[in-house]
Structure 1
Amino acid sequence: MEFRRCIQVFLVLVLIQSMESSSVVALTDPLDVAAMNSLFVNLGYPPLQGWLLVGGDPCGENWQGVSCVFANVTALKLSSANLGGQLGDSLQTFGSIIEIDLSNNHIGGNIPTLLPVTVRNVSLSNNQLTGSIPGGLATLSQLMELSLDNNHISGDIPDVFQLLSSLTRLDLSSNNLTGQLGPSLRNLSSLTTLYLQNNRLAGTLDVLQDLPLQDLNIENNLFSGPIPAKLLTIPDFRKEGNPFNTTILPSPPAPAPVTSLIASAPASGENPANGPSSLPIFVSHKTGKSLITKPLTWIVIGGVSLVLLVILCGLVRCFKVRSDNRAKRNDISAYKLPTENTKYSQSSLEEGLQMEKVPKEAILKPLDGYGAESIRMGMMAKPQRDKKTDVRSTESSMQRKDPEIDMTDTDEVVLPPPPPPFFLGRKDPVNPFGPATTSRLKSPNPSSVKVFTIASLQQYTNSFSEDYFVGAGMLGSVYRANLPDQKLLAVKKLDSETCRLQSDKEFLELVSNISEIRHANIVELVGYCAEHEQRLLVYKYCRNGTLHDALHTDDETHKKLSWSVRIRVALGAARALEYLHEVCQPPMVHHNFKSANLLLDEKLEVHVSDCGLAPLITSPSLAGHLLTAYGSSAPEFESGCYTRQSDVYSFGVVMLELLTGRKAYDRSRPRGEQYLVRWAVPKLHDIDALSRMVDPFLNGAYAMKSLSRLADIISSCIHREPEFRPPISEIVQELLQIS
């Protein structure tokens, strides 16, 4: 008995010891921990409670937004958590996750190619996601709800819904989607809610007619053709803003019996023309079927066949000639772009009102007289109209460098002078067709730029907390920094994707270039931070926020924007661009000029931000996305051509915002009024319409002569063709006449 009692005591002690040791061991599956750590890095180290860079126990330590079942992460719920960065490929490594809700944040980059096969609910709406919808959705057979609305996703909707029979809700609205609906949508046998509004989708709706839809919104697209009758029975069906046919597509008729196609041959001597039809008559016999037609019908068929044969021979000959010509042109320089394949519609803005997006136009004309030779000679070039200018020598490649730096294209016949030591070769990020350029590494001027540490900036921003958050852009988030001496600064924290675009040396060179910008209407760079693989830029702080907020969200500041204040703001912004375009050597383009980048100080003086960041903004991952999504871009922007005249166009859009009080792009307005330029252009030269479009906050407190002159300036700035837009220095002189 005594021995048995000792054994029982020993087992109890072992059990207690094992329980104590298990409390030390992490509960969470190691694979899920690794996925959480990777996601933390991709999101830019957000200040989320419990989240760690390496290791940790998400389930045992109750990490913010994480739900678990036993040792597995089953849900990520971080809606409206002020997240930035991007998603990367970390989500696919979760082994048991069911719900992912990262909506209402500032997450950029592409949607992950693959998502966990166990996921059922995914919400990434109201972010800044780019790229296209991934084909990896085809593997999510358990998916029930998918929300990707209110992002900047483009391209076609992939035809990947064959196995998604459990999907009940799909929201792809308010993006830039194009193309037609794929046939695999017919397999969504459980789909009850489908939102596709505010895109540029085209084609017919036939693939949707047999789905169990209860809520369908396809407003503001390019759908055409008759509306299937079955869709009209959907309880909540919104279809406005599409060029539909007025004809209702009837349900398919039942197959006709074979006997209905059988008729008797006309009797001998009977005139077939007196019969019910002159079409061919089908005759059925027990031995088969034969086709009896009039001789005239055969003559017509033979004639049509002959014409088609002649046309086909002509096309074959034309194709052969063009192939021979193309072979002869193989020795032409790769710099010469084929104009035949790059012609776009030359219709005016007024004729493009039905388009959902600013029309894409490839501007293949030479730049307005700022050729590469003038930069190579180290002097300011005068505007010219040289039609032989290489289309690849765009002004957008004129990044701000030391005046002594050689900017010669390495692929040209004329050889550049020998580079100075420590040259850094890299491909021009502004012009996707441009050759490699070289630039000399410079260190920031220590007398004008301060070097901050991560620790100090975390202290000044309360670890980049939400209370210090100012705003977010495509390059990262901005936070207010409170220094011990009560001085305020603005800290732009570049996201991880932007940081990867440049090496440390290139970033220091960028800082050096920005530090040399000195103008009263340009936000001054105070310092920078580059440590622990993070990049931050520190600027002076403007207390009245952005012009965009003043016009569209802050009524108190909006009331202070009188006519004279608005003209002063426009003049200050124009002078900032004039400094960049015509004073800096070499000239600079802003490349992201919009009202959200115009800051107002306590005296409502304007200061342009993001100057000198074109090497980051124009990276291949962001090109064609920034201004296009907000209605501020010039027509040539999406073709990869961006010059100083493109900045002038965007400046004209900002002046339209000042004039009307409207946003450059406003989804909430009727379809014909969503894009400010399209809506305003027909009214700029009609004095009555012009008076009605002025911002109501002005209460008529302006001179009609000033209004008319401002309308003329705006009209010249937003001209479709870049060569007809005036240089910014002329705009400054015109605005001085108004003020």
Structure 2
Amino acid sequence: MAYNSSSIHEWLSSRTALGVKLWLLILTSVLVFLLFLLILAFIFHVCFRQRRRNWNRPCYDREAAISTEMEMNIKNGSVDRFSRHGSLNTQRSIVTNWEYSAGQYFPAACKDQWRRNIFALDEIVLATNGFSGENVISIEDFDVDYFGNLVDGSKVIIKIFSANNSLGENEFIREAERIQHVSHKNLIKLLGYCTQGIANNRMFVYKNVDNGNLHQWLHQCPQNHFSPLTWSIRMNIVQGIAKGLAYLHEDVEPQILHGRLRSSCILLDQQWNPKIANFGLVELLPSEYSAGALAGETHESFEIGSTNPFTEQNDVYSFGILLMEIITGRAPANCNQSQPDLIEWVKTMIGSQKAVETVDFKMEEKPSSKQLKRMLLIALRCVDPDILNRPTMGQILLMLQPRDLLLAHGGEIRTGESL
């Protein structure tokens, strides 16, 4: 059946049962429908804005009280002093007698934040069981590390920075997001951060690795047992550390420095794969840190004790110390310890033709003479007093490749070099 314009016009002009022309009824219906859509869009917009405000609003009004008590307990020494390498020795909680449950102190608005990179203070308190001393992993001069459990079951490490940090909130967030965007299999993953609270107690939340750290496996195993860290496992760890540092130095723009590389910063998974922790924190630490706070520690090169800024060569020096520690099983000495300096001890043993005796006695599997000499030579190159003679991490990766060659100064490779 065909319709022409006159028949359509006649149909639209016809009156309905209500006495209203059909075209007018259709037009009114369309306008009402459009008005309904506008109202619906307005309601959606208002709800969305309200939800965003809830995201950015502190999840619980006790935030200031929590921060104040946490800061007072830290300043008053309510946590017993720990070793710098993670051995737990505490009897008190930083925050005492806090009974938390997910239902009581975890508002629904907070739950949306678990999928994002911003954590609320109450989430941190809940994860650490009220900053319990039993959750403390280690205490450094400028931060405290806690073990935590998120409500979704994820295991995390929570780092609380010192209140002496003068970095502004926007700068802190910018640095945190820069670190969070870094992704490498040999770097620990930063899940998010927390800026709530007072006294600049800002926090990082890291993904946990469940097999302890390298320092524990090197120095806290029973003396009368062989170490599970065989030579091949140790070399795999060295390779992973070098890859992670090379990525930070050469593949990230702008580059990220570590500044605090040591065996306690190397976390291990169940397959002994290393994950570097605490990278990129130099910019987040108080200014006195780079001005000489590390002058008495042998993990960092001597240039740090002056007014010189951190450079990638400082990380290379720390890598050389770490490589010696992995080979020998001896912890680096600091100014408060009586044992010989690790670098001088290694040089003395090599000079006395006793390089083979530098190998950790707890290793059942011993390296070949060529393997040992190559690793010791790389370590000595890294701690060269002349900063210009130290190789880059990219060059170190090439040196670590298994080959029947030894390395000479200047980054070139030649045969016949002897220790």
TM-score (norm 1): 0.39
Aligned to 1:490: 157
From 281, 290, 298, the counterpart of 1:623: 290
Aligned to 2:73: 46
Q: Render the CA deviation track for 1:382-430: whole Å, top value 9, x for unaligned.
A: xxxxxxxxxxxxxxxxxxxxxxxxxxxxxxxxxxxxxxxxxxxxxxxxx
Letter in 2 for 1:658: I
For 1:626 and 1:701, locate their aligned partners in 2 and report how far apart those are by CA, in whole Å: 38
Between the aligned residues of both structures, percent identity stands at 25
Does residue 1:713 correspond to 2:378, yes or no? yes
Aligned to 2:100: none
Query: Cα distance 1:105–1:582, how it changes in 2: closer, same or farther (>3 A)?
Result: closer
SS in structure 1 at match of 2:164: helix
SS in structure 2 at match of 1:464: coil
Does residue 1:540 correspond to 2:207, yes or no? yes
For 1:668 and 1:549, locate their aligned partners in 2 and report how far apart those are by CA, in whole Å: 20
Aligned to 2:367: 702
Does residue 1:82 correspond to 2:79, yes or no? yes
For 2:375 and 2:83, locate their aligned partners in 1 and report how far apart those are by CA, in whole Å: 36
Aligned to 2:301: 634
Aligned pairs (5 A) from 1:169-180? none
For 1:484 and 1:681, locate their aligned partners in 2 and report how far apart those are by CA, in whole Å: 51
SS in structure 1 at match of 2:73: coil
SS in structure 2 at match of 1:522: coil
Task: Answer whether contact 2:157 2:205 (CA < 8 A) is retained.
Answer: yes
Aligned to 1:552: 219
For 1:682 and 1:480, locate their aligned partners in 2 and report how far apart those are by CA, in whole Å: 41
Q: Which structure would you say has the larger RCO, counting Cα contacts within 8 Å and 6 or more residues apart?
A: 2
For 1:626 and 1:598, locate their aligned partners in 2 and report how far apart those are by CA, in whole Å: 22
Task: Answer whether contact 2:172 2:284 (CA < 8 A) is retained.
Answer: no
Query: Cα distance 1:667–1:646, how it changes in 2: closer, same or farther (>3 A)?
Result: closer
Task: Answer whether contact 2:292 2:306 (CA < 8 A) is retained.
Answer: no
Gaps of 5+ in 2: 1-66, 90-112, 405-419
Q: How many pairs were matched up?
A: 309
Letter in 2 for 1:603: Q
With 515-524 and 474-483 compared, the bigger mean Cα shift is at: 474-483
For 1:736 and 1:545, locate their aligned partners in 2 and report how far apart those are by CA, in whole Å: 27
Letter in 1 for 2:347: V
Gaps of 5+ in 1: 1-39, 49-75, 84-103, 108-125, 127-445
Letter in 1 for 2:161: L
Aligned to 1:611: 279
How far the C-alpha of 1:607 sits from its partner, in A, is 0.9
Aligned to 2:118: 451
Query: Cα distance 1:449–1:631, how it changes in 2: closer, same or farther (>3 A)?
Result: farther
For 2:255 and 2:242, locate their aligned partners in 1 and report how far apart those are by CA, in whole Å: 15
Aligned pairs (5 A) from 1:138-287? none
Query: Cα distance 1:535–1:736, how it changes in 2: closer, same or farther (>3 A)?
Result: same
For 2:266 and 2:226, locate their aligned partners in 1 and report how far apart those are by CA, in whole Å: 14
Aligned to 1:567: 235
For 1:495 and 1:643, locate their aligned partners in 2 and report how far apart those are by CA, in whole Å: 23
How far the C-alpha of 1:463 sits from its partner, in A, is 0.4
For 2:289 and 2:73, locate their aligned partners in 1 and report how far apart those are by CA, in whole Å: 22
Does residue 1:683 correspond to 2:349, yes or no? yes
How far the C-alpha of 1:659 sits from its partner, in A, is 0.8
The structure with the largest strand share of the pair is: 1
Query: Cα distance 1:503–1:483, how it changes in 2: closer, same or farther (>3 A)?
Result: same
RMSD between aligned residues: 3.2
For 1:738 and 1:654, locate their aligned partners in 2 and report how far apart those are by CA, in whole Å: 22
Letter in 2 for 1:682: T
From 167, 190, 193, the counterpart of 1:528: 193
Q: Which has the larger radius of gyration?
A: 1
For 1:449 and 1:715, locate their aligned partners in 2 and report how far apart those are by CA, in whole Å: 44
For 1:569 and 1:623, locate their aligned partners in 2 and report how far apart those are by CA, in whole Å: 28
Task: Answer whether contact 1:47 1:465 (CA < 8 A) is retained.
Answer: no
How far the C-alpha of 1:682 sits from its partner, in A, is 3.0
For 2:315 and 2:261, locate their aligned partners in 1 and report how far apart those are by CA, in whole Å: 6
Task: Answer whether contact 1:449 1:515 (CA < 8 A) is retained.
Answer: no
Does residue 1:735 correspond to 2:400, yes or no? yes
Query: Cα distance 1:634–1:706, how it changes in 2: closer, same or farther (>3 A)?
Result: same
Query: Cα distance 1:558–1:605, how it changes in 2: closer, same or farther (>3 A)?
Result: farther
Task: Answer whether contact 1:660 1:694 (CA < 8 A) is retained.
Answer: yes
SS in structure 2 at match of 1:677: helix
